[in-house]
Structure 1
């Protein structure tokens, strides 16, 4: 039986976690002991203490040495997270003491990446010693990271959460959509296109229930057209761009900011078609009632400038 959380928390030590990581890397108690600067008997004792604390065997002895089992790999993964968090703690403490630098962890959906890059570029000019970590993912996963304290602030949509009231939307930003294709698409250079002329082509779309997929489905309904059959589905913008490069007959809808950025580098072409709908706005989000770090406050002010907003936060 796995011991209680209180039991594990009171008995597990950081140095033991370092030993687990070293054992995974070397597969040898002798080499792992050298890395964490203890004797081999000390390492053997420490491993026994860890397994006793957790109530489980974590390694299997093989001809290649010690190999972590499924439970061992799970524990080592969290040991690395704890070690990383301690390193981040030190960085942030140094930043606070020095009045500059520190660490900033940001979550962002794909459509807001160009906007975030503008704000971060200015922030880095005034805070060159700031350590920055960026996570790009779906709104649901970003909100989960925010709940876990893994990120300081996220740019996403809170409507995907079952408890949107748990979050505070500081700034809200509308998001327009663009119809795009490979620059060599047969209709890419036409002066004007209509949606009914595009139904015969293949499409790459976002997965069902994602806001941009719902917006595209609504556009087809407004036009009285059936949604394209047998589309390729992906939540990855990089995958979408790669597919458009490989197949000049594919069509896609993506956020206008991302489309403009990609068009600048000749990766795709925007169609001159007026989409009558926009995707749901996204927001700069923190946890309700959470303390915001100094670096996060500075980023929020930069984002406020890029979104063309001043004064009080959006509620």
Structure 2
């Protein structure tokens, strides 16, 4: 078959770059400028590629070149192949230069000051020359970069509903979401505290579109608590904790944040449970891309750091409970 033979023997890296550029710019002139070639050279290369494959890849429209079903299919694979070639190039350069690779990650609020530092410390102890680039943002802001291959993984809260099966997930922590206030808040120590006691207080809410916002609104509605009129919106843990100290505001924090060593000195957890809001923190990566050795090492360090934190928490709880008396049961 003509298409099969051409793909196996004649398809070159320059063809892949041409396809990706055409998909990005949709015009011969812009593609020529981007690839630093002449416009006739772009037209000739595209014509040769379509002739070699025996199919038309782009439709000529008033808006420029638009990929059809054949073009979209080949472009998708072209992007993945170029990503792998770029990754191979980086790893070879690292070997030649005597370094140990690089990894780019996206990190969400909540892991920046809790989970990530321990994992990075562990990784640097094992591979000091590895370069780690960290981009902070929301899940919706980081996922496009993950798809494009600009990020190796995203670390942070996982969505309650998984809608994209090209993206792979690894759950590291599952903790309930908790309502917290400053330690001298009027609600701390209140007998028979109920949901309606929350009315009238200011809040710190996740922004609209954040993973926690809709589930939190549904939980408040389920308990007959109207959405507050007095609130700020932020995903910043540091801002939330600082704001709580100077106001009577109520905030919700994931359990792994609320129970970090520094946080209990600043806030109290209200004894109101939200079983529907289980915070899932983990790693998201693109299943179409192979993780580099450096990325796999960071993956393993994240898993190990979570395990160490769990053991440390268990020891702290045992110490707080005091020695077990002879004959007692646990």
Shorter-chain TM-score range: 0.5 to 0.7
Aligned to 1:83: none
Structure 1 unaligned blocks of 5 or more: 13-87, 310-315
What's 2:289 paired with? Answer: 290
What residue number does 2:235 align with? 235
> Root-mean-square deviation (CA), in Å?
3.4
Question: Aligned residue for 2:205?
Answer: 205
> Which residue is 2:125 aligned to?
125
Residue 218 of structure 2 aligns with which residue? Answer: 218
Alignment correspondent of 1:101: 100
Aligned-residue offset at 1:160: 8.8
**1:252 to 2:251 alignment:** yes
CA deviations 1:159-213 (Å, max 9, x no partner) are: 5999612312244642421211223222234576332222221111112342222
- Contact 1:204 1:240 survives alignment (8 Å): yes
Could you tell which deviates more after superposition, 183-192 or 292-301? 183-192
The 8 Å contact of residues 201 and 230 in structure 2, kept in 1 or not, is answered as: no
Identify which of 24, 34, 44 aligns with 1:9: 34
Q: State the 1:263 CA deviation.
A: 4.1
Contact 1:212 1:279 in 2 (8 A): no
Cα distance in 2 for residues equivalent to 1:185 and 1:290: 49
Shift of 1:296: 0.7
User: Structure 1 residue 93: deviation in Å?
Assistant: 4.7
- Structure-2 residue corresponding to 1:25: none
Q: Paired residue for 1:145?
A: 145
Residue in 1 aligned with 2:299? 300
Change (3 A) 1:162 1:283: closer
Shift in Å, 1:105? 1.5
> Per-residue displacement from partner, 1:76-95 (whole Å, max 9, x unpaired)?
xxxxxxxxxxxx99975553
Structure showing greater Rg: 2
The normalised TM-score by structure 1 is 0.62
Q: Secondary structure at the match of 2:259?
A: helix
Q: C-alpha deviations, 1:2-33, integer Å up to 9, x for none?
A: 87343123329xxxxxxxxxxxxxxxxxxxxx
Residues 180 and 253 in structure 2, CA contact (< 8 A), matched pair in contact too = yes
Residues 142, 156 of structure 1: 8 Å contact kept: no
TM-score by length of 2: 0.60
Q: CA deviation at 1:106?
A: 1.3
Measured at CA, do residues 96 and 273 of structure 1 come closer, stay the same or move farther in structure 2, by a change above 3 Å?
Answer: farther
Structure 2 residue ranges without an equivalent (≥5): 1-24, 38-86, 309-330
